[in-house]
Amino acid sequence: MAPPGYQPYGSLPPAQGTSGMAIASLVCSLVGVFCGLTAILGIIFGGIALSQTKHNARPGRGMAIAGLVIGIFISLSWIAVMMILVSFGNSL
């Protein structure tokens, strides 16, 4: 039996939450559909989140990868749209 005033069992360490950079990466990449500049932030945050979640140190690696991939896709889509608009703008 434990002496008075002491816990008989050790407590569990607090659970680590998902990486904030991974969440920011995914959100910025998805908002990039409407505003292309935030997709670039999604790529940056995704890279930072990947380094934070390396070796399963923090949860959120899948979210970081998704934000990175979506950010790259959205950024390339915006670049393609701008190139098309510029090329048709010169011919009109």
pLDDT per residue over 21-62, tens digit each? 999 999 999 999 998 899 999 999 999 999 988 887 788 999
**HSE (side-chain half, CA atoms, 13 Å) at 6:** 7
- Cα–Cα distance list, 84 to 33, 47, 74, 89 (Å): 17, 29, 15, 8
Q: pTM above the 0.85 mark?
A: no
CA–CA separation, 26 and 70 (whole Å): 8
Q: What is the DSSP letter of 54?
A: G
Q: Does pLDDT of 7 surpass 70?
A: no
CA–CA separation, 57 and 62 (whole Å): 13
Spans of all domains in the chain? 20-91
Q: What is the DSSP letter of 55?
A: G
The residue ranking higher by pLDDT, 73 or 54, is 73
Mean pLDDT value of segment 57-76? 93
